[in-house]
Amino acid sequence: MAERNILITGGAGFIGSHVVRLFVGRYPSYRIVNLDKLTYAGNPANLADVERCPNYTFVKGDICDMESVCDLLLRYEIDGIVHLAAESHVDRSITDPFAFARTNVMGTLSLLEAARRQWDGRYDGKLFHHISTDEVYGTLGPDDTPFSETTAYDPHSPYSASKASSDHFVRAYHDTFGMPTVITNCSNNYGPYQFPEKLIPLCINNILHRRAIPVYGSGDNVRDWLYVEDHARAIDTVFHRGCPGESYNIGGGCERRNIEMVKGIIETVDRLTGKAPGTSLDLITYVADRKGHDLRYAINASKLADELGWRPKVSLDEGLERTVRWYLDNRAWTDSVTSGEYMRYYEAMYGGR
Ligand code: NAD
Ligand code: TYD
């Protein structure tokens, strides 16, 4: 019998696959059940190295299907949930907000309700850990202090509005039903297995194909970047030692303007592919700004550092180097996820550029 039975939702996606890999490797006495619908963003190949581990089980399914989720919680005697499944791309939320309300809001509610029914007030040893984003806090001016856990929610995109709503439902299940919950709000992640619709893998892929790199607006928007394995470690820390009812911010303490990031990626790719420095700078193409584009995100992660001792370990230089090397070594992975639906998406977003 397993010591614990943990459900991870969205484990075939970018961050989820790193969380599954960490938990499966680090906790051989746990059974890890990964529930994933395998949308365009979910890919079993992200977990090819994990799929035969005896403590790992994959279940294809939709978090919105509450009856099936109830069955799954019962069948595997789930006592902990790490909830990552979501629609996660801001640009897609602008063209299809309903998909975000369905998965991020209704899906989270369905998961909460299934857990409430299954756990039925027996909350000892149970935990619902909801993975959220810093984007719920809205946007900062250049001199504003970084977001803390007490910053008022002020989402602007359909994506961040849906994540904010899901956070509120998680808190409501804690406050109303006494369910032990924790929420983590993390800054922008990067690393291996990120779907190439997001800035960093999109840049790497476009440089390798000598395609234009679309920089929205002036390129002066600021993001706080965190290497994905540091996020997975933070989730592990909060899942095991976080205080129920609390939320924790997670961030890299590493703010960069988008244009600086793009230039850093170009430098790294050119160097690692043996090109002269600056070869790919000509690909930088300023395009129309994203609607409602938040200017700046920055995270104050001192609560997590002071109370639970987590700090990021991987610097931006080291993380970018590892990330670019991974994409160079795994071009078949990128090729497999950039056919079909991706090309239609890309054409609609960026046209012939
Ligand atoms: P992703 O888009 O790479 O992966 C999402 C996963 O969820 C996919 O495997 C997909 O198949 C699955 N999924 C989608 N809808 C589902 C449904 N209805 N039922 C079951 N599975 C479903 O996302 P990501 O970037 O890995 O983000 C994971 C989580 O972390 C999300 O909740 C996101 O809001 C949050 N987050 C992401 C970042 C970031 O920088 N990527 C930062 C902070 C927080
Ligand atoms: P993204 O990776 O989509 O993450 P998020 O919107 O959640 O922060 O975008 C990161 C930043 O890069 C954001 O300010 C938008 C910008 N961006 C571009 O300039 N060009 C692009 O092609 C993409 C995808 C993003």
CATH T-level assignment (fold) for domain 4-188+227-250: Rossmann fold (3.40.50)
Pocket around ligand 1: residues whose beta carbon is below 6 Å from it? 9-10, 12-16, 35-39, 41-42, 62-64, 84-86, 88, 103, 107, 131, 133, 163, 186, 188-189, 195
The residue whose C-alpha atom lies closest to atom 10 belonging to ligand 2 is: 199
State the angle between helix axes of 228-241 and 14-26 in degrees (0 to 180), rounded to the nearest 10. 60
**pLDDT for res 341:** 84
DSSP class per residue in 71-100: HHHHHTT--EEEE--S---HHHHHH-HHHH
Angle, in degrees to the nearest 10, between helices 316-329 and 199-208: 50
Q: What distance in Å separates the CA atoms of residue 338 and residue 344, rounded to the nearest whole number? A: 10
Instruction: Catalytic residue, from 159, 173, 297, 327: name it.
Output: 159
- Does the pLDDT of residue 125 top 80, yes or no? yes
d(CA 85, CA 71): 18
Mean residue pLDDT across the chain: 97
Q: Is 70 exposed, middle or buried (0-12, 13-18, 19+ CB in 10 A)?
A: middle
| Mean pLDDT value of segment 296-309 | 98
- pLDDT band of residue 151 (cuts 50, 70, 90) is very high
In the prediction, which pLDDT does 351 show?
Answer: 82
Q: Give the pair of three-digit tokens for residue 17.
A: 């696959």
Q: Are 103 and 86 in contact (CB under 8 A)?
A: yes
φ, ψ at 31 (rounded to 5°): -95, 125
Q: What sign for the dihedral angle of Cα 146, 153, 79, 12?
A: negative
% residues pLDDT > 90 (the chain)? 97
Q: Give the angle 175-176-181 at the CA atoms, nearest 5°.
A: 50
**Nearest CA-CA partner of 196 in 214, 217, 223, 216:** 214
Determine which of 22-26, 35-39, 93-97, 338-342 has the lowest per-residue pLDDT on average: 338-342
E strands present in the chain: 4-9, 30-36, 56-60, 80-83, 127-133, 181-186, 188-190, 213-216, 222-227, 247-250, 255-257, 284-287
Q: Give the tens place of pLDDT for each residue, 17-61.
A: 999 999 999 999 999 999 999 999 999 999 999 999 999 999 999
Which token pair is 215?
Answer: 């920089």
Tokens 């409501």, residue located: 172
Q: Is 153 a catalytic residue?
A: no
As a whole number, mean pLDDT of residues 198-202 equals 98
Cβ atoms of 73 and 61 within 8 Å: the answer is no
Closest CA to 58 of 78, 38, 87, 88: 38
Of 331, 95, 119, 312, the C-alpha closest to 205 is 331
pLDDT score of 353 more than 90? no
Say how far apart CA 63 and CA 35 lie, in whole Å: 8
CA 297 – ligand 1 centroid, Å: 19
Select from 89, 216, 259 the residue to mutate for testing ligand 2; criterion: most ligand atoms less than 8 Å from CB. Answer: 216
Residue spans of the domains in the chain: they are 4-188+227-250
